[in-house]
Structure 1
Amino acid sequence: MKKIILFADTGIDDAIALIYALKNPEIDLLAVVSGYGNIDREKSLRNAEYLLELAGRDDIPVLAGATRPLNGEEPIFFPDIHGVEGLGPILPPIPEEQFARRTNISTLFQIIKDNPNEVTIVNVGRCTTLAIAWLLNPEVMKDVKETFIMGGAFLVPGNVTEVAEANFYGDAQAADYVCQTSPNLTVIPLNVTRKALITPALVNYIDSRATSPIEKMIKPILDFYYEAYQQLEPGIDGTPQHDLAAVMAALDIPDLYRYSNRVVRVQHEESFANGLSIADFRPGSMDCFGLDCDRIATEINENVFISNVLEILTLSENRQ
């Protein structure tokens, strides 16, 4: 069983990733670290707590993440994609104001110390909080077993600018630092997450099997997400499950991904290419020229993806 700490900015695709993690019997979700990104930190924290409450999993701590990028600039949010509250049409009945002053990142370090070399970090939002954790306590962070990041776009277009993916663009400095610092790092970029689609027909099927409150959240938020994507990419078959794809990568599902080993850097100087993910794909570069390689997902088996998603999201009841 994988012991996972999920770093999120709890919008719609984060919510689907969280629901999947809660339902998958192969995952022991130790904590959710929720920061700014798709929405502000207070909404992100509230959404994570609300989802865990619906799932009856109040035993899983929600930790406060960062409020803005490392450079101190105001973050950019995406209400057109995730809704003003982050969960599409859903307004959680929890006041976001109660999360304004929460500071409990020390709990993160304690969880890692209690599970040395057993924790897998899956970061599906901005990299700011993860970078801060490394800056604050590198000795403890070295006890993390492995790290998976949803971010970047290698040799394909970005989704925020012509060259940049949203998570790397949102704090390119933090993304570059994490890619240089985290050992046993796997990057799950747009190359594969753009193909990790759930169609409306599949959403309807999953909804037909839904019995619990959190399972019944899936259809309304993904319907909203689909309509948003129809504006962005008219005719797209479904909604890309960027964050779910990263959680699934952590499970080493046979034949799901093909990987390349490369050193990953992120452009973070003020420039047209801010947030650009960079790796050397020239012939002869697979040994990273003697440097520590990162692992980049380059291909996804869409049939394996869909089969696993349907299996987990239609399990008869939530794992308690």
Structure 2
Amino acid sequence: MAKLVLMDHDGAIDDLLSQLLVLTMPDTELIGVTVTPADCYIEPALESAYKLLQLMGREDIPLGRGDYYGINAFPNEWRARPEIINALPMLINLPKSPDPYTYLSAPELIIERLSAATDNVTILMTGPCSNLVLALEQAPELTSKIAEVVWMAGAFRTSGNVQMFQHDGSAEWNVFWDPVSSQKLLTLGLPLTLIPLDVTNNVPVTKQFLSTLATQIDYPLSNLTGQFWALTLDTIPSYHYTYFMWDILATSYLAIPEQFKTERIKASISTRPPNAGQTYLDDNGYELTIATDANTSFFYDYLLEQFKR
């Protein structure tokens, strides 16, 4: 039986690539996608998400619109990337997307999809966790319908990737955007697995990988994903910043968990400056699982194979 997956992402390049990757997984059934207005502007991000569903012939998968805005906004220049995605040659002439304000709100769709599911559902989050927390605050009984939550989030034994005023650099962005909801998530007692910077720092977007992907250009998904990733090489010009496969690595965990090493820990999350959003080991904290290592060569090969489908 296929694994039921409900995905919540925040519309950035790696989130959209992750949505595509889930759609290539033969033993996975994507039952809904919700979008958080974090590393994106919501309207073009929903258009991007819908266009990818069109491309894969899966317009039947419902989309949910995130209306909640977190505490610490992503920089505006990062959030505009879906505008470029929507203009790529393989996407620009697809039929018009629905009005984004006709979609259910993200918490409403999460509640609806969990309620209707015939089996327990894996939640994949590649952006902040706010939509899931809002949904479970409204319908706490639905925690019993969740098989696992896989979240690209946190930095435990490495530095964070937040470079902002009044911050010490210890936090990862998905947690920092809404540290209050992030801490609430830990208290819910869900089967929670985090894929933190500790492992995603090992999978940069490299020109060598893009060169290999380009040899598969006759495959439409290889062509499209190569264009997506090419946009990341100068994606953050204001910082000396490397673009990693943060969300893609977390997404691959659904299909190749045996290629990851994990550890059961207790942790907490700071909710205020100067380390708002910091995820840290805490003997008095909440139990969860974190990935500590991944077979990176297998991972890169896996991506190349999936995008030949």
Normalised to the residue count of structure 1, the TM-score between the two structures is 0.83
Closer/same/farther in 2, CA of residues 83 and 24 from structure 1, 3 Å limit? same
CA contact (8 A) 1:262 1:294 kept: yes
**Post-superposition offset of 1:228:** 2.5
Instruction: Report the RMSD for the aligned CA atoms in angstroms.
Output: 2.7
Closer/same/farther in 2, CA of residues 231 and 221 from structure 1, 3 Å limit? farther
Alignment of structure 1 residues 84-103 onto 2, 5 Å:
85=83, 87=85, 90=88, 92=92, 98-100=99-101, 102-103=103-104
Alignment of structure 1 residues 139-178 onto 2, 5 Å:
139-161=141-163, 162-178=169-185
**Post-superposition offset of 1:278:** 1.4
Q: 1:223 aligns with which of 226, 230, 235?
A: 230
Q: Distance in 2 between matches of 1:191 and 1:139?
A: 33
Aligned residues: percent identity?
Answer: 21
Closer/same/farther in 2, CA of residues 222 and 2 from structure 1, 3 Å limit? same
> Which stretch has the larger CA shift, 112-121 or 173-182?
112-121
CA contact (8 A) 1:133 1:141 kept: no
Equivalent residue number for residue 318 of structure 1: none
Q: Distance in 2 between matches of 1:92 and 1:141?
A: 39
Equivalent residue number for residue 208 of structure 2: 201
CA-to-partner distance for each residue in 1:116-140, whole Å, 9 max, x for gaps? 5521001110111111011111112
What amino acid does structure 2 have at the position aligned with 1:191?
D
Q: Distance in 1 between matches of 2:63 and 2:109?
A: 10
CA contact (8 A) 2:187 2:286 kept: no
CA contact (8 A) 2:194 2:291 kept: yes
CA-to-partner distance for each residue in 1:245-292, whole Å, 9 max, x for gaps? 1111223432x21111112321112x1111111123xxxx6xxx7x76
User: In structure 2, the residue corresponding to 1:226 is in which secondary structure?
Assistant: coil
Normalised to the residue count of structure 2, the TM-score between the two structures is 0.86
Q: Distance in 1 between matches of 2:76 and 2:280?
A: 25
Equivalent residue number for residue 268 of structure 2: 265
Q: Distance in 2 between matches of 1:45 and 1:295?
A: 31
Alignment of structure 1 residues 21-170 onto 2, 5 Å:
21-69=22-70, 73=71, 75-80=73-78, 83=81, 85=83, 87=85, 90=88, 92=92, 98-100=99-101, 102-104=103-105, 105-115=107-117, 117-161=119-163, 162-170=169-177
Do structure 1's residue 310 and structure 2's residue 304 form an aligned pair? Answer: yes
Q: Distance in 1 between matches of 2:5 and 2:267?
A: 23
Q: Distance in 1 between matches of 2:73 and 2:221?
A: 29
For structure 2, the 5+ residue unaligned runs are 164-168
**Post-superposition offset of 1:203:** 2.3
CA-to-partner distance for each residue in 1:122-171, whole Å, 9 max, x for gaps? 11101111110111111123311110111111121111131111100111
**Post-superposition offset of 1:180:** 2.0
Q: Distance in 2 between matches of 1:194 and 1:86?
A: 26
CA-to-partner distance for each residue in 1:154-191, whole Å, 9 max, x for gaps? 12111113111110011111111112215110011011
Closer/same/farther in 2, CA of residues 232 and 25 from structure 1, 3 Å limit? farther
User: In structure 2, the residue corresponding to 1:227 is in which secondary structure?
Assistant: coil
What amino acid does structure 2 have at the position aligned with 1:164?
A
Q: What is the total number of aligned residue pairs between the two structures?
A: 299
Q: 2:255 aligns with which of 251, 258, 261?
A: 251
CA contact (8 A) 1:3 1:29 kept: yes
CA contact (8 A) 2:268 2:286 kept: no
Q: Distance in 2 between matches of 1:223 and 1:82?
A: 16
**Post-superposition offset of 1:75:** 2.9
Closer/same/farther in 2, CA of residues 86 and 303 from structure 1, 3 Å limit? same
What amino acid does structure 2 have at the position aligned with 1:152?
G
Do structure 1's residue 300 and structure 2's residue 294 form an aligned pair? Answer: yes
Closer/same/farther in 2, CA of residues 155 and 292 from structure 1, 3 Å limit? closer
> Which stretch has the larger CA shift, 128-137 or 102-111?
102-111
**Post-superposition offset of 1:114:** 2.8
